[in-house]
Structure 1
Amino acid sequence: MQYAKKKFGQNFISDKNLIKKIIDILDQESNQLVIEIGPGKGALTKELVNRYKKVIAIEIDRDMEDILKSEVNSTKLELIIKDCLEVDFNELIENNSFKKVSIISNTPYYITSEIIFRTLNISKKLDKAIFMVQKEVAQRICAKANENNYNNLSIAVQLYSEIKYEFTVNKNMFKPIPKVDSSIISLKFNDTNLKKLNDDDLKFVSFVRKLFNNKRKTILNNLASFTNNKEDALKILNEVNIKESLRPENINLDEYIKIYNEVKKC
């Protein structure tokens, strides 16, 4: 029997109804590539290869290799034993000629943000992504302006996709049982907001992250730290009709895009 390893943040699921409910969120068109991050013992993988033409499963734990090969005996499966943060996803997608590509992940809690940001970086090549994350993290990602959990990750995800909080997964559904509940979130990618930035998205995400460096400061003070000139910062905010007394968590995505586009003119 293979036990979960704490260092890899492993928590296994086996409930067939839950597995089906998660995979049902994906587009059901069979002719697509599905990249699974952290397949573990293959609970999701088994159902994925039944539904889709090609599944690439990326697993960091070498002890899972033989288990996965025995549990999921399918020519549709390509197994990569490697840290997902070291995998070139662009190359992976380019080497497989599919018009539709999706990502699904029972995301290791300790690298959730890194995986999501890496996914956003290749969003133009993706149709959808499904993540299982800690409930608290899901609430943060799905948060809107003026909500307590709202931060730069919330904005980044909204920039690239239509984000949806799908449902909560009780911690008792896992083995071993984690300390907190999890949530399923879905990201449906589109370029609606990217067009407003003229594809300057990576610089925009970095810009917003800097404005959230000190959430307790006003947007004026944070922007002044970026421009190195308080008068310029005030002029920019006046130009886009945003109150200088607001804080970073009070400003929505469209307003940040307006601020950024105005900054570029300076």
Structure 2
Amino acid sequence: MEFAKKKFGQNFISDKNLIKKIIDILDQEQNHLIIEIGPGKGALTKELVNRFKKVIAIEIDYDMEAILKSEINSDKFELIIKDCLEVNFEEIIRTNNFSKVSLISNTPYYITSEIIFKTLKISKMLDKAIFMVQKEVAQRICAKPNENNYNNLSIAAQLYSNIKYEFTVNKNMFKPVPKVDSAIITFNFNDINLIKVKDDIKFIAFVRKIFNNKRKTILNNLSNITNNKQISLNVLAKLNIKENLRPENITLNQFIEIYNEVISC
């Protein structure tokens, strides 16, 4: 069965030039473990196997198993039929023991955020991640302070990596044709910002709470977290951050400073 399934958000790419353009973004060292989420019928996977030493593809759709195994016959290829959100990526990476590891995904639209946050949690084990996501989501992830679509996902991406909007992918390059265009974004992982926070998971949760009330000022949002307006005022004054700013006006470094002050109060 080769029909795309709506419940899995399947949209297949087959354009060879697009596939090459995506894979060229990866570091081209051959001794490289590539983890692919959502290989579909394997158009991207085949080229990955041709270029790199090991490719592990994770596919949720059992009907794709026979197609992938018939298309790709190589000892460099391993297929895991499972929901990627239930896969232990740490174990896969430790077991295969490569010095360079990258993740690539034509990401199902309905679980984009979950996949990205799962990837960020293992960022220290990865060199790079390439995601194909809806264009609007890509713009949100890559957004800068003072832009309307800047949110907690933008902050998370910046915390763990240098994030780059690579290029837009026209919706007509997919089968079936989705309703919107897509985009390729790249996470180049590093710990430049990560070392500034004591607990990255708690920091992300802190930022998410603040963005839950995006229209409120940073003072109001902070007061809801601290349950003490005076403490919040003191924190902002100490950091020279105006209390009437809104979450989309606050930079990553300022969020880090606010968080570190709050947990030390």
Scaled to the shorter chain, the TM-score interval is: over 0.9
The equivalent residue for 2:135 is: 135
Residues 86-165 of structure 1 mapped to structure 2, 5 A cutoff: 86-165=86-165
> What's the CA shift string for 1:151-170, capped at 9, x where partnerless?
00000000000000000000
The CA distance in 2 between the partners of 1:177 and 1:213, in whole Å, is: 33
The CA distance in 1 between the partners of 2:138 and 2:220, in whole Å, is: 29
Superposed structure 1 runs of 4+ greater than 4 Å apart: none
**TM (normalized to structure 1)?**
0.99
Give the deviation of 1:32 after TM superposition: 1.1
The CA distance in 1 between the partners of 2:239 and 2:72, in whole Å, is: 55
Q: Which amino acid aligns with 2:251?
A: N
The CA distance in 2 between the partners of 1:204 and 1:123, in whole Å, is: 15
Q: Which amino acid aligns with 2:145?
A: A
Give the deviation of 1:252 after TM superposition: 0.6
Give the deviation of 1:238 after TM superposition: 0.5
Q: Which amino acid aligns with 1:244?
A: E
Percent of aligned pairs with the same amino acid: 78
The CA distance in 1 between the partners of 2:102 and 2:141, in whole Å, is: 19
Over the aligned positions, Cα root-mean-square deviation in angstroms equals: 0.6
Describe the SS at the equivalent of 2:91: helix
The equivalent residue for 1:221 is: 220
The CA distance in 1 between the partners of 2:235 and 2:212, in whole Å, is: 19
The equivalent residue for 1:246 is: 245
Q: Which amino acid aligns with 1:73?
A: N
The CA distance in 2 between the partners of 1:148 and 1:26, in whole Å, is: 30
Give the deviation of 1:148 after TM superposition: 0.7
**TM (normalized to structure 2)?**
0.99
The equivalent residue for 1:180 is: 180
Describe the SS at the equivalent of 2:96: coil
The equivalent residue for 1:23 is: 23
Q: Tell me whether 1:211 sits opposite 2:186 in the alignment.
A: no
The equivalent residue for 1:39 is: 39
Give the deviation of 1:73 after TM superposition: 1.1
> What's the CA shift string for 1:36-83, capped at 9, x where partnerless?
000000011000001111000000000000000011111100100000
Q: Tell me whether 1:263 sits opposite 2:257 in the alignment.
A: no
The equivalent residue for 1:230 is: 229
Describe the SS at the equivalent of 1:39: coil
Give the deviation of 1:195 after TM superposition: 1.3
Unpaired segments ≥5 residues, structure 2: none
Q: Which amino acid aligns with 1:128?
A: K
Q: Which amino acid aligns with 1:105?
A: S
Aligned length: 265
Describe the SS at the equivalent of 1:118: helix
Describe the SS at the equivalent of 1:62: coil
Q: Which amino acid aligns with 2:228?
A: N
Q: Which amino acid aligns with 1:224?
A: S
The CA distance in 2 between the partners of 1:10 and 1:97, in whole Å, is: 31
The CA distance in 1 between the partners of 2:29 and 2:236, in whole Å, is: 46
Unpaired segments ≥5 residues, structure 1: none
